[in-house]
């Protein structure tokens, strides 16, 4: 095995093309995985359309995958050829998922539990479950969660009845955040979403579900919080007008908000794309005194040694095996080739898809 097929974006705004690339041999502590399914993320749009992160073109997209172990490097013997696996990583092109084979660090990979398959549904899990844990712990608002996920010993304890706001509860990150908070015993989980998604969020553990964009949204959130300002908020949307301004209305003095990066802002600047620009702060919104604003950078989660060593290798497989978190709804991109499916999938992401992931079958 020397070469395989990858799907690349040749330049900013370009359409996907098929390329033949070298198939690497796994280094120590790496596993070579045959990728079968990829779930797209907004990050893929930020890179392909906006050039976020200043990528080196052509670029391979995809960070979230399920597949089969093809070869195991020295030091990664907990895996074996033929294992069904799921994982999340992004980096140089050879690491990104929209290609047939990728080398994966053993810390970025877990085994698919027996109650799940290597399929489109399972591909919806790793990236945003990692993001949810990260934004609740060291990479975000730093509140205690279930000790089997993170020991949280350095975080100040809070009462389990404390109101916690998830803005964008039907997003992939929002759904996982609700499930983790519910598993951790929190009893006042307030989630915003379109009304059609309220039953889903309630089934995942949301205590209150509130429609965003309503004239009464602010009042309903404050009422759910017991008539007081919220102290902890998680913005799972990352849009200055659609989410952050709403969070700022209800977050009290000294509160904490973790928000997705990059932040989207409407713009008529010449360099704006489709009327939008990307920001890396939430300073364009007026906040109450003392609010701590934390931009969530999921790719830095492994700076927390505990999360690096346990989250993908063992915690996520256990949470799935025990039914504590569940795969998400998805839309499978149509097409006869991986390239065609990626093009269709990116188009669907641009249009917006509520409560579902866009998934790509990789041939």
Of residues 160, 162, 220, 232, the one with CA closest to residue 192: 220
Give me the pLDDT at residue 153, please: 77
pLDDT of 270 higher than 90: no
Can you tell me the distance from the alpha carbon of 41 to that of 28, in angstroms, rounded to the nearest whole number?
29
Max CA distance (Å), the chain: 64
CATH number at residue 80: 3.90.180.10
Domain for residue 179, yes or no? yes
Note the pLDDT tens digit of each residue in 256-268. Answer: 999 999 999 999 8
Domain for residue 317, yes or no? no
Can you tell me the distance from the alpha carbon of 240 to that of 251, in angstroms, rounded to the nearest whole number?
15
Identify whether residues 231 and 349 lie together within a single domain: no
Domain housing 276: 128-300
Identify whether residues 118 and 30 lie together within a single domain: yes
Identify whether residues 289 and 146 lie together within a single domain: yes
Pairing of strands 208-210, 189-192: parallel
Identify whether residues 138 and 171 lie together within a single domain: yes
Weakest-pLDDT range from 17-21, 149-153, 268-272, 337-341: 268-272
Cβ atoms < 10 Å from Cβ of 215: 6
Domain for residue 308, yes or no? no
Identify whether residues 28 and 118 lie together within a single domain: yes
CATH number at residue 240: 3.40.50.720
Give me the pLDDT at residue 358, please: 98
Domain for residue 23, yes or no? yes
Local structure of residue 152 (DSSP, 8 states)? -
Cβ atoms of 30 and 101 closer than 8 Å: no
pLDDT of 1 higher than 70: no
Of residues 192, 190, 246, the one with CA closest to residue 223: 190
Identify whether residues 259 and 343 lie together within a single domain: no
Domain for residue 36, yes or no? yes
Can you tell me the distance from the alpha carbon of 181 to that of 188, in angstroms, rounded to the nearest whole number?
9
Domain for residue 310, yes or no? no
Q: How many domains does the chain have?
A: 2
Q: Where are the beta strands (DSSP E) in the chain?
A: 3-9, 17-22, 30-39, 59-60, 64-72, 84-88, 101-105, 109-111, 164-167, 189-192, 208-210, 230-235, 251-260, 263-266, 276-279, 292-296, 330-332, 357-361
pLDDT of 85 higher than 90: yes
Identify whether residues 87 and 134 lie together within a single domain: no
Domain for residue 102, yes or no? yes
Identify whether residues 202 and 223 lie together within a single domain: yes
Identify whether residues 232 and 274 lie together within a single domain: yes
Domain for residue 332, yes or no? yes
Identify whether residues 282 and 238 lie together within a single domain: yes
- Work out the pLDDT band at 331, boundaries 50, 70, 90: very high
- Residue that terminates a domain, selected from 283, 300, 317: 300
Note the pLDDT tens digit of each residue in 213-228. Answer: 999 999 999 999 999 9
Mean pLDDT of 84-102: 98
Identify whether residues 114 and 11 lie together within a single domain: yes
Mean pLDDT of 97-117: 98
Identify whether residues 27 and 94 lie together within a single domain: yes
pLDDT of 277 higher than 70: yes
Note the pLDDT tens digit of each residue in 10-34. Answer: 999 999 999 999 999 999 999 999 9
Q: Please give the C-alpha separations between residue 326 and each of 125, 309, 329, in angstroms, as whole numbers.
A: 8, 22, 10
Mean pLDDT of 202-214: 97
Using DSSP's 3-state secondary structure scheme, residue 130 falls into helix
Q: Which residues contact residue 18 at a Cβ distance below 8 angstroms, ignoring those fewer than 6 apart?
A: 5, 6, 7, 8, 337, 338, 339
Can you tell me the distance from the alpha carbon of 229 to that of 255, in angstroms, rounded to the nearest whole number?
9
Mean pLDDT of 186-194: 98
């Amino acid at each position: 095995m020397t070469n395989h097929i990858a799907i690349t974006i040749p330049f900013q705004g370009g359409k996907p093309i098929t390329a033949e690339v070298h198939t690497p041999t796994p280094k120590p502590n790496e596993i070579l995985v045959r990728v079968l399914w990829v779930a797209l993320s907004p990050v893929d749009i930020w890179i392909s359309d906006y050039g976020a992160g200043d990528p080196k073109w052509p670029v391979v997209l995809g960070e979230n995958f399920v597949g089969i172990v093809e070869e195991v490097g020295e030091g990664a013997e907990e895996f074996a050829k033929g294992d069904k696996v799921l994982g999340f990583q992004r980096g140089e092109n050879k690491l990104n998922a929209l290609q047939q084979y990728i080398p994966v660090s053993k810390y970025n990979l877990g085994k698919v539990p027996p109650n799940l398959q290597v399929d489109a549904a399972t591909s919806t899990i790793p990236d945003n479950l990692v993001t949810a844990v990260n934004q609740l712990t060291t990479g975000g608002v730093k509140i205690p969660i279930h000790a089997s996920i993170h020991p949280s010993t350095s975080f100040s304890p809070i009462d389990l009845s404390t109101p916690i706001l998830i803005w964008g509860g039907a997003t992939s990150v929002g759904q996982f955040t609700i499930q983790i908070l519910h598993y951790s015993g929190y009893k006042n989980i307030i989630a915003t979403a379109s009304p059609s998604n309220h039953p889903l969020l309630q089934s995942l553990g949301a205590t209150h579900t509130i429609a965003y964009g309503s004239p009464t949204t602010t009042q309903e959130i404050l009422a759910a919080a017991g008539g007081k300002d919220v102290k902890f908020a998680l913005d799972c949307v990352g849009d200055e007008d659609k989410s952050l301004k709403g969070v700022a209305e209800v977050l009290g003095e000294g509160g904490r908000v973790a928000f997705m990066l990059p932040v989207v802002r409407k713009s008529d600047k010449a360099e704006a794309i489709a009327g939008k620009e990307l920001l890396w702060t939430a300073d364009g919104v007026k906040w109450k005194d003392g609010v701590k604003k934390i931009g969530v950078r999921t790719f830095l989660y492994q700076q927390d040694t505990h999360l690096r060593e346990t989250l993908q290798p063992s915690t996520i497989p256990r949470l799935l095996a025990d039914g504590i978190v569940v795969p998400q709804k998805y839309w499978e991109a149509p097409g006869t080739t991986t390239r065609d499916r990626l093009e269709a999938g990116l188009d669907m992401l641009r249009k917006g898809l509520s409560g579902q992931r866009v998934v790509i079958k990789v041939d």
